[in-house]
Structure 1
Amino acid sequence: MQGTRLDTARIRAARRIIDPVFLDTPLYRCEALEPDLGCAVSIKLETANPVRSFKARGTEMVASGLAETGARPVVCASAGNLGQALAWSGRGRGLDVTVVASRHAPAAKLARIRALDAGVELVDGDFDLARERAAAIARRDGIRLVEDSLDLETCEGAATIGLELVDTGPPFNIGPSFDAVLLALGGGALATGVGHVVKALAPDVEVICVQPLGAPAMTHSWRRRRVVTTDATNTIADGVAGRRPIPAVLNDLLLVADDAVLVREASIIAGMRLLLDHAGLVVEPSAALGVAAILEDRDRFAGRHVVTVVCGSNVDVDAYRRWVGAGRRRGEDSATSSPE
């Protein structure tokens, strides 16, 4: 694929480096969701691993490279999932991991990072402020800064999900039958990685990226074909709540995404509720974006076979109960109406 930073041969090689515990995650058609969504839906379950998200596919690549060179200290900024993944991968390879996060990040994510023996530094701001602080620490101490989505390891690690979607043969045989894949869009590692593989190996499959209306920077950037920043974010989907897209990542996204859509908070919550009620899955808001996109545009997906990547389940339990329980108590689901 011309002009992209990603390489399909390197992505195939990544499967030999990533711990098998993060590979070949479940992929199955979830018929129980289909009456509510009006289309065939398959789930790629990236929560069935020790860190409950897809991020470790990338951090396995990062940590392996650092261990080979003998480098020990490493720092990253994280909304929670990357930090947990880097802590897990680093602990197994003797790395000294520091994670910079917002003081407002979910407490459950911060607790798991600390439990994996990583240091945590909190900032009084959002993810983009944490990113600035992590970069400052790296400059000051002369250590490796892991930048999610900018570092190719994070994108090509995530891209191995795409191989599992489109490679035919056991145990995954649905590749030729689905015609769209819905990907959560934040910094862009998942979307560019999976999108690259899908477009390289199954070009007729539509790649659709999904962001919350309250964190639209990358979607606006994709639509305008230039970096668009925002002053703030306002969404429960903390895992995708960035304000400042990375130019190189946007360039990769422009090559592989067929569409980028924005969804409302009510639709995200409705998606979380459907995944709980009909798939038995407790997911964080970012992981419900694909279902939210179907809820908001049923006509677009009617009669189609769609794959959604359920990308994480690190969620604050109390917040989850409030979100999922509120609509059930009201006996309403406003997300099923057309978006404003």
Structure 2
Amino acid sequence: IHVKHENHNPTGAFKIRGGLNLIASLSDGERRRGVITASTGNHGQSIAFASLLAGVSCIVAVPKDNNPQKNAKMRAFGATVVEQGKDFDEAREWVEREAEASGRRYVHSANEPLLIAGVGTYALEIFEELPEPDVIFVPIGGGSGACGCSIARTGLGRKTRIIGVQAVEADAFTRSWRGPERVVAAQTATFAEGLATRHTFDLTFGILKRELYDIVTLTEAELEEGVRLALRATQNLAEGAGAASLMAAVKMRDQLDGSKVVCVMTGGNLNMSALQRIIA
């Protein structure tokens, strides 16, 4: 097993790649009007960090009771953080209304080709170092990371199987991908906020419906064990979503015997109260 450490990026997550690419591509008018987005943290940090570098005003809507460490980092990067709704999707719906009223450039966390192109650069680094991995495990929330990886794989002509990882308690994408129609969940109940979406999104779902090999779902106990496993095996602090790929590989180990496997550790921004509970 090889681990791709995106948790060592400046914001502690892979999302920074997409934020830098998108903000660098804004028109002069968009820069003047500023940007607005919704996030549970890592996407918001990426847009806030890139906006800070570019001198662009940034608003990030987060759910109530969001990870306080992620909120603090977004504020440290100069963003105005606004609490809206009980979960990511309610925060996103507020942002869509606010963007229309204010004229700010709405940055969707998934339906953005420039975000996907940016985050996909992590996959180019994987294939540069390991030209022919058999399997890459990638956690799926909105799906941009898995899309970037899949597009890079296909563009390079590799045969690597891309396997997504979701939480059992936030599996709308999994049920949509496996079923005849797309599903909207009534709620999510996972501590791994990077996986906590109730909806699928047009751009990422369309790509992954075509490109993804399979999906593994993890219980909350398995996600917590993934965090402990990351600490023991890699000496890295991973958030729930960031450790999910490693735990998925362990769960599927009997099917992977002899395979060259890559697990993408997408982020390390774990809520300290969650860490205390998990390692107690």
What's the TM-score once normalised by structure 2's chain length? 0.96
In the alignment, which residue of structure 1 is the partner of 2:16?
56
SS at match of 2:26: helix
Residue by residue over 1:207-253, the C-alpha shift from the partner in whole angstroms, topping out at 9 and shown as x without a partner, is: 10010100001111111253211101011111110001112321111
SS at match of 1:150: coil
Of residues 259, 262, 265, the one that matches 1:304 is: 259
For 2:67 and 2:95, locate their aligned partners in 1 and report how far apart those are by CA, in whole Å: 19
For 2:257 and 2:123, locate their aligned partners in 1 and report how far apart those are by CA, in whole Å: 23
Q: 1:227, 1:247 within 8 Å by CA — same for their partners in 2?
A: no
Moved more, 62-71 or 196-205: 62-71
CA change 1:56–1:68 in 2 (3 A) is: farther
For 1:303 and 1:68, locate their aligned partners in 2 and report how far apart those are by CA, in whole Å: 52
Residue by residue over 1:177-224, the C-alpha shift from the partner in whole angstroms, topping out at 9 and shown as x without a partner, is: x21000001101001111111133243211100101000011111112
For 1:268 and 1:175, locate their aligned partners in 2 and report how far apart those are by CA, in whole Å: 29
In the alignment, which residue of structure 1 is the partner of 2:6?
46
Structure 1 residue 106: Cα displacement: 0.5
What's the TM-score once normalised by structure 1's chain length? 0.79
SS at match of 2:188: coil
Question: In the alignment, is residue 118 of structure 1 matched against residue 79 of structure 2?
Answer: yes
SS at match of 1:227: coil
Aligned runs of 1:1-340 on 2, under 5 Å? 41-66=1-26, 68-69=28-29, 71-72=31-32, 73-167=34-128, 172=129, 174-176=130-132, 178-224=133-179, 226-325=181-280
For 2:193 and 2:30, locate their aligned partners in 1 and report how far apart those are by CA, in whole Å: 33
SS at match of 2:215: strand
For 2:222 and 2:26, locate their aligned partners in 1 and report how far apart those are by CA, in whole Å: 41
Letter of the structure 2 residue corresponding to residue 250 of structure 1: F
Q: 1:270, 1:324 within 8 Å by CA — same for their partners in 2?
A: no
CA change 1:69–1:165 in 2 (3 A) is: farther
Residue by residue over 1:27-60, the C-alpha shift from the partner in whole angstroms, topping out at 9 and shown as x without a partner, is: xxxxxxxxxxxxxx10110011210001111111
In the alignment, which residue of structure 2 is the partner of 1:15?
none
SS at match of 1:322: helix
Structure 1 residue runs of 5 or longer lacking an equivalent are: 1-40, 326-340
Q: 1:42, 1:308 within 8 Å by CA — same for their partners in 2?
A: yes
Structure 1 residue 148: Cα displacement: 1.0
For 1:125 and 1:305, locate their aligned partners in 2 and report how far apart those are by CA, in whole Å: 40
Q: 1:225, 1:254 within 8 Å by CA — same for their partners in 2?
A: no
For 2:30 and 2:103, locate their aligned partners in 1 and report how far apart those are by CA, in whole Å: 14
CA change 1:89–1:311 in 2 (3 A) is: same
SS at match of 2:83: strand
Aligned positions, number: 279
For 2:214 and 2:137, locate their aligned partners in 1 and report how far apart those are by CA, in whole Å: 10
Letter of the structure 2 residue corresponding to residue 98 of structure 1: I
For 1:322 and 1:42, locate their aligned partners in 2 and report how far apart those are by CA, in whole Å: 28
In the alignment, which residue of structure 2 is the partner of 1:3?
none
Moved more, 247-256 or 138-147: 247-256
SS at match of 1:71: helix
Q: 1:187, 1:240 within 8 Å by CA — same for their partners in 2?
A: yes
Q: 1:195, 1:256 within 8 Å by CA — same for their partners in 2?
A: yes
Supply the RMSD in Å over aligned alpha carbons: 1.4
Structure 1 residue 70: Cα displacement: 5.6
For 1:203 and 1:220, locate their aligned partners in 2 and report how far apart those are by CA, in whole Å: 27
For 1:224 and 1:239, locate their aligned partners in 2 and report how far apart those are by CA, in whole Å: 23
SS at match of 2:31: coil
Letter of the structure 1 residue corresponding to residue 201 of structure 2: I
Question: Which has the higher Rg, Structure 1 or Structure 2?
Answer: 1
CA change 1:63–1:155 in 2 (3 A) is: same
